[in-house]
Structure 1
Amino acid sequence: MFPTRLRGLPVALLLALTAPIAVDPAAAAPLSETALAAQRQSYLDAERALAAGDRTRMRTLSPQLRDYPLYPYLRARELGQNLATASSAEIRQFLSQWADVPAAARLRGAWLRALAEQSRWDDVIADYRPGPDPELDCLYRTALLNRDRPDVALNNFQALWLREQPLPAACDRPVQAWASQGGLTPALAWQRFAALMGARNPAAARPVQTWLEPADQAWARLWLQVDQNPALILQAPDLQMAGSDRGAGIVTWGLARWIERNSAEAAPAFDEIRRRGLIADEQLLPLERRLAVLLAARRHPDALRRLDALGSSREDDSIREWRARLGLAQGDWPLVLRSIEHMPAAQAAQAGWRYWRARALESSGQNGTAERLYRELAGERDYYGLLAARRIGTPPTWTQRPLPRPPVATLRGLAARPAVQRARELFLLGRPGEARSEWEPVLRNADTATWRAAALLAADWNWYGQAIIWLARAGDWDDLVLRFPTPWRSEFENAAQDTQLPPAWLYAVARVESTLLPEARSGAGALGLMQLLPDTARGVASSIGYRLGDNSQLFDPAVNIRLGSVYLRQLLDRFGGNPVLATAAYNAGLRRVGEWLPAGTELAADVWIDTIPYSETRAYVRRVWEYMAIYESRLGGTAHGFEVERIEARAP
């Protein structure tokens, strides 16, 4: 089990830190843990009664829960079920009393939508509060328009119009009113269209064409065509006219799109656009840099020439880094050394480039200088320190330093906050998403001492991910017990045994993927501790004869760990037992890693990792390697990470 982080404190203080305060500040002393546990069960019973429409049971339970931290959630749910018949006074009393509770904000949104459906515009005006939801903003503006207050309704509407996101249907009436009063000018229409295209949201940009002038509608149609086929920037006659602002903007955008999609194919197009003078040199420079970097990442034969063609005055850190990486990929150690020596002092002093300088010196026979650099790096607890320690055959430095404790008053004050009490109850009820909505606003602008206290409290609750997050926010890196906990120990060890994988590797992947938050959900739709895409999870489940129900099962640590470990095993087998390649594929996918294998010759594993084309995957593999070594130490083994020397060339 994860150790209690409040060890050494008196029992009375522990109770003070974890007991909830009453809803009414003037009420009696905080509830005991025993009473709190009983109320927690009553709260669940009340939720079930509410869901079943059992009003008699609700009337019995509700008064008993008035001093329970989550009472406002129960009350908000009760009111939310009866919005059609609820009185304004009743809703307003709740929204006023519990204004700082996220449940109140959700109820306000549902209430405003219900009022708008009933055309209760005066109530919408009275109960709206400014916030980030554009739908509610537009319902409020619509209410003002219905009460003949257009000046207030359309005040600062331009800011909403220029946001780089689709507008909900509720905004149609305000947009029409704004346009009829002359606020929506053709220039603003083009500005929104261009902003949405720049944000790569052509679906949201298309409806804006209605508000464009005829000439700009033609430009917009051409831009949308270029989105589908960037090669049109060299073919469409209207785009070949130097000096056209609209045309130059579309060509610039299209070239950037082309470079990102296929840098090798876009390179001659870049040269032709420069020859024709379609884009000013200052606009071409960032595209030229990006093209050179992507060609270098692809190890294109023309990459070094393009990097060098920029010259010292036009290059940036990424250009200098990729010149060195090209040297690594080609085994050209003199080029690596020259590239690092050409870097500004701050860049060359980064751990990675110090390590590669040592490797380059070692390759040229300067072993004494190289060993001195390795020894300096080996004293640092990071990926490159681990590599350096292995180069000279010394154990890495994994010193555990417990977190300095903030003042007791800070701990007590944080634990006593109503929002923190609600967060704790929500977490204990298995609702970490709602818990975070209470927890994070309290800490967002807090000081370092409060963040440390938050890490300690979260660890005491076994809220591992939040302990890690707030420890990092405080800038404390040395408490390895807090930073690298070992929850779900039996699940990880069983999965390791079933798949014949090191448990430290599984822990490291989960730690990097989700920060050990079982409820984690990525923007791409990956779910749970080991961040599995639902389709991937179903394929893995099918391969082992496991029946996976709906996607919510992936938030169950036992299920997620089992399927994630099997998937990692499958990747390992696919890449001939090479854990470096399997780790990279876990992040970037099988196809990409297959494309990144060296052609014609094998590469040292550390070289291959640092020449991975995707910066995200480079960082991912490094972190998994580093975290695996730490977890080996935490689990009682020897910290060494992956023992992989070479990455073999792909078959011709």
Structure 2
Amino acid sequence: MRTLLLVQLVTIITLFSTAQAKPAYTADQQAFLDAEKALRQGKQQEYQKLKKGLAHYSLLPYLEYQEIQDNLNKNSQQQVDDFINKYESSPLSGRLRWDFIRELAKSKNYALLEQYYPFGAVASYDCQILNHQLEKGKPIKELSEQIANLWNVSKSQPKECDKVFEKWIDNNQLQQEIAYQRFYQTAHEGPIGLLNYLKRYLPRDEQYLADLWLKVRRNPKVVTRSNFFPGKKPNKEAPILVYAVKRLAWGDREDAYSAWKRTQSRIPLAGAHKSDVERTLFLALATQNNPKAVDMAKDKLKDQLDDELVNHWKLVTFLRTQDWQSITQLYELLPFDQQSSEQWRYWYAVALDELGQKEEAKILLTELANERDYYGYKAAIRTKQPILLNHAPLIIPEEVMQSVRKSANVERARELYAIGRYLDATREWRSLLNQLKTPEEFQAAAVIANEWGWYNQSILTIARAQVWDDTDIRFPTAFKEDYIKMGKQIQLPPHWLMGVARQESAYGPRAVSPAGAYGLMQVMPNTAKAFARKFQIPYSHRSDLLDPSINIQMGSRYLQMRYEELEQNPVYASAAYNAGKSRIEEWKKYGRYPTEVWIEAIPYTETRDYIKRVMTYRQVYALKLGLDDDIFEYILTTETGDKK
């Protein structure tokens, strides 16, 4: 549960503009905004007057930063240093440093650039500095390692590196080992054009390998031809076979399997190569419920036990075939950290129960039922125990609360959040978290963010504190009236809608995903346009999705649509909210199984974990709202998927 939470949180970023109407600002907030405006418009007299009145205001550094940034040049060193030293705890310090670095690079002030720039951060700057050092007479041998690190990447470097690389190569500093490393990196993951270029650095009798790589990169199926590998340098042809079969496995599984069985006897493979291919083949076959996966799982039961994903798909293969004995055997072979997971404790107990060891199974399930977790809730249903919320409020010493509240980062973040500067507020908050040391300080910060209604940040912060049982912070119930109202309209449980929001955005009204989904329920703008017309929901711009009321209507309608389209199956609907309807239709074809087994067999790890979290959060919100919910009975008593 804890790992799933952290995985979820890193997928969320915060949007930095707001759709809500302007709030009533305090006098300082309004003066700050007026000062910013005057500075932008060049009204220096008005600006200086306003700034003087803000001498003790927490956002003063944002005005000072803008002043320096507006007039930044290669001669601004003293101003930059003074600002960095004065506001060391603010992210503005790092931003101004990088502004100055860019200005120095632009003005070609390399001597000063070297003092501020952290070498290795930007390839073009690295190369400019190296070229400057070479022009000043520094021996190329002294720079050879740094240049090699820049050259040895699976992509083309910026044009600023051309002269440096040319001098390095002309001075015979390019070692054959480095050339091989870059070639094989590029062969696996780089652009084909670069691979063709790197061919020249291979020995003449090995340049045919580049041609084989180019063919395989364009179409991995070519390795199925009986005469594809000439066998001139089998040890160096082997990685080509490994790459092709692994890539082919996720397209045409049968072709990949056949090519592997036919070709591996002719190409000598190291143990690691063979294990790597067989791992990929097994995962590809198992995710598609190919019968060959069953034999592979049993034959390789003792292999790759440190690999959690492989063990998961061995488990799924045995669950599909109801091979309870193999599940117990595998469990007993697993490392302790995997045995200790809720997933493995649950399925080991179920396997024991199916094998007739009912008392031992009951003891294990009864213990697991105390967890507020997907498997804990299933264990509670199996053992007819109550589903628990396990709420334990935080108790934080007042002196710790006051110390964190008075932090300059907190004061700046509070004011920035209040005026809708969410990007800057988030940066200040991250700087704060990097400075906190004790669990109590993180807990205090989580409480503060929660008080502001900054729920996704409070959830992230309490996770950093390693505290899991204050369910008021971890599972906020803001906007519950909107969810209850919407649930009645579309006849879906409001706690299901809230569970989706908790998973999608960590309950952040202004959250935006890297894919461009907005708000509490992470609605895409194109979906919003269509639903606005269909359901008469007010909508004119994507920023409207930051309004919780509008977002809840959009997201809830989308979930309802998937629910109706997909047999009124809550598992299908939740999975489709994450992965789309077409993938659910594809996964249904892999066979009909008990719903809890079907969930374990979802091919995408992200969607599989998503379902478990949404079902758990749905149950948590039902408990918090005082409502009954039967989702875990549904999971344990139904079947899902199409009959083969």
Task: Assess same fold via TM > 0.5.
Answer: yes
Mapping of residues 193-208 of structure 1, within 5 Å: 193-198=183-188, 200-202=189-191, 205-206=194-195
Instruction: Tell me which amino acid in the other structure corresponds to 1:581.
Output: Y
Paired residue for 1:227, among 217, 235, 254? Answer: 217
Structure 2 equivalent of residue 63 of structure 1: 52
Q: CA 1:115/1:197 → structure 2, altered by over 3 Å: closer, same or farther? A: same
1:454 aligns with 2:411: no
502-511 vs 277-286, which deviates more?
277-286
Q: Deviations over 1:147-172 (max 9, x none)?
A: 55566876723334445666444444
Structure 2 equivalent of residue 79 of structure 1: 68
115-124 vs 262-271, which deviates more?
115-124
What secondary structure sits across from 2:628 in the alignment?
coil
Structure 2 equivalent of residue 612 of structure 1: 602
Q: CA 1:234/1:48 → structure 2, altered by over 3 Å: closer, same or farther? A: same
Q: In 2, distance between residues paired with 1:268 and 1:615?
A: 27
Q: CA 1:139/1:619 → structure 2, altered by over 3 Å: closer, same or farther? A: same
Mapping of residues 516-595 of structure 1, within 5 Å: 516-541=507-532, 543-544=534-535, 551-595=542-586
Q: In 1, distance between residues paired with 2:73 and 2:333?
A: 70
Q: In 2, distance between residues paired with 1:522 and 1:204?
A: 32
CA contact (8 A) 2:74 2:104 kept: no
The offset of 1:84, in angstroms, is 5.7
Q: In 2, distance between residues paired with 1:160 and 1:100?
A: 32
Structure 1 equivalent of residue 13 of structure 2: none
Structure 2 equivalent of residue 22 of structure 1: none
CA contact (8 A) 1:242 1:278 kept: no
Q: CA 1:591/1:48 → structure 2, altered by over 3 Å: closer, same or farther? A: same
CA contact (8 A) 1:333 1:360 kept: yes
CA contact (8 A) 1:125 1:143 kept: no
Mapping of residues 53-202 of structure 1, within 5 Å: 53-83=42-72, 87-130=76-119, 132-145=121-134, 147-149=136-138, 156-162=146-152, 167-198=157-188, 200-202=189-191
Structure 1 equivalent of residue 628 of structure 2: 638
301-310 vs 79-88, which deviates more?
79-88
Structure 2 equivalent of residue 478 of structure 1: 469
Q: In 1, distance between residues paired with 2:207 and 2:96?
A: 42
The offset of 1:120, in angstroms, is 3.9
CA contact (8 A) 2:199 2:210 kept: no
Q: CA 1:346/1:189 → structure 2, altered by over 3 Å: closer, same or farther? A: closer
CA contact (8 A) 1:289 1:319 kept: yes
Q: CA 1:75/1:194 → structure 2, altered by over 3 Å: closer, same or farther? A: farther
Structure 1 equivalent of residue 35 of structure 2: 46
Q: In 2, distance between residues paired with 1:404 and 1:471?
A: 13
1:506 aligns with 2:484: no
Q: In 1, distance between residues paired with 2:387 and 2:477?
A: 21
CA contact (8 A) 2:74 2:107 kept: no
CA contact (8 A) 1:112 1:124 kept: yes
Q: In 1, distance between residues paired with 2:135 and 2:459?
A: 50
Greater relative CO, 1 or 2 (CA 8 Å, sep 6+) = 2
The offset of 1:383, in angstroms, is 1.0
The offset of 1:484, in angstroms, is 0.6
Q: Deviations over 1:590-630 (max 9, x none)?
A: 12211211556x43221211222222222211111111111
Q: CA 1:291/1:373 → structure 2, altered by over 3 Å: closer, same or farther? A: same
Structure 2 equivalent of residue 488 of structure 1: 479
Structure 2 equivalent of residue 298 of structure 1: 288
What secondary structure sits across from 1:622 in the alignment?
helix
504-513 vs 240-249, which deviates more?
240-249
Q: CA 1:456/1:137 → structure 2, altered by over 3 Å: closer, same or farther? A: farther
Instruction: Tell me which amino acid in the other structure corresponds to 2:65.
Output: A
Q: CA 1:346/1:417 → structure 2, altered by over 3 Å: closer, same or farther? A: closer
Q: In 2, distance between residues paired with 1:497 and 1:140?
A: 64
Q: CA 1:383/1:43 → structure 2, altered by over 3 Å: closer, same or farther? A: same
Structure 2 equivalent of residue 308 of structure 1: 298
1:271 aligns with 2:261: yes
Structure 2 equivalent of residue 209 of structure 1: 198
CA contact (8 A) 1:240 1:278 kept: no
Paired residue for 2:456, among 461, 465, 470? Answer: 465
CA contact (8 A) 2:186 2:195 kept: no
Instruction: Tell me which amino acid in the other structure corresponds to 2:29.
Output: R
Paired residue for 1:418, among 382, 403, 408? Answer: 408
Q: CA 1:165/1:628 → structure 2, altered by over 3 Å: closer, same or farther? A: farther
1:428 aligns with 2:428: no
What secondary structure sits across from 1:275 in the alignment?
coil
Q: Deviations over 1:535-594 (max 9, x none)?
A: 455454454455755555544544433322222111111112111111111222212211
Q: Deviations over 1:72-110 (max 9, x none)?
A: 222222332333697454444434544553223333333
What secondary structure sits across from 1:276 in the alignment?
coil
1:374 aligns with 2:331: no
Instruction: Tell me which amino acid in the other structure corresponds to 2:31.
Output: S
Paired residue for 1:396, among 361, 376, 387? Answer: 387
CA contact (8 A) 1:584 1:593 kept: yes
The offset of 1:524, in angstroms, is 4.2
Q: CA 1:119/1:67 → structure 2, altered by over 3 Å: closer, same or farther? A: same
TM-score under structure 1 length normalisation: 0.83
What secondary structure sits across from 2:468 in the alignment?
coil
Structure 2 equivalent of residue 353 of structure 1: 344
1:289 aligns with 2:279: yes
What secondary structure sits across from 1:292 in the alignment?
helix
Structure 1 equivalent of residue 618 of structure 2: 628
Q: In 1, distance between residues paired with 2:449 and 2:568?
A: 38
CA contact (8 A) 2:235 2:268 kept: no
Q: Deviations over 1:105-164 (max 9, x none)?
A: 333333333343344444434543557344444444455456555668767233344456
Q: In 2, distance between residues paired with 1:236 and 1:534?
A: 50
Structure 1 equivalent of residue 587 of structure 2: 596
Q: In 2, distance between residues paired with 1:238 and 1:265?
A: 15
Q: CA 1:129/1:338 → structure 2, altered by over 3 Å: closer, same or farther? A: closer
Instruction: Tell me which amino acid in the other structure corresponds to 1:75.
Output: E
What secondary structure sits across from 2:264 in the alignment?
helix
What secondary structure sits across from 2:603 in the alignment?
coil
Q: In 2, distance between residues paired with 1:297 and 1:480?
A: 35
Q: Deviations over 1:323-375 (max 9, x none)?
A: 33223223455555565566566644533333334444555666555544433
Q: In 2, distance between residues paired with 1:193 and 1:84?
A: 41
The offset of 1:631, in angstroms, is 0.8
CA contact (8 A) 2:525 2:542 kept: yes
Q: CA 1:136/1:632 → structure 2, altered by over 3 Å: closer, same or farther? A: farther
Q: Deviations over 1:385-435 (max 9, x none)?
A: 211222343321212111232x43333333333233323332333233322
What secondary structure sits across from 2:290 in the alignment?
coil
What secondary structure sits across from 1:399 in the alignment?
coil
Instruction: Tell me which amino acid in the other structure corresponds to 2:387.
Output: P
- Give the percent of matched residue pairs that are identical in Structure 1 and Structure 2: 33
Q: In 2, distance between residues paired with 1:421 and 1:131?
A: 34
Give 5+ residue unaligned stretches, structure 1: 1-35
CA contact (8 A) 2:331 2:339 kept: yes
Q: In 2, distance between residues paired with 1:46 and 1:203?
A: 53
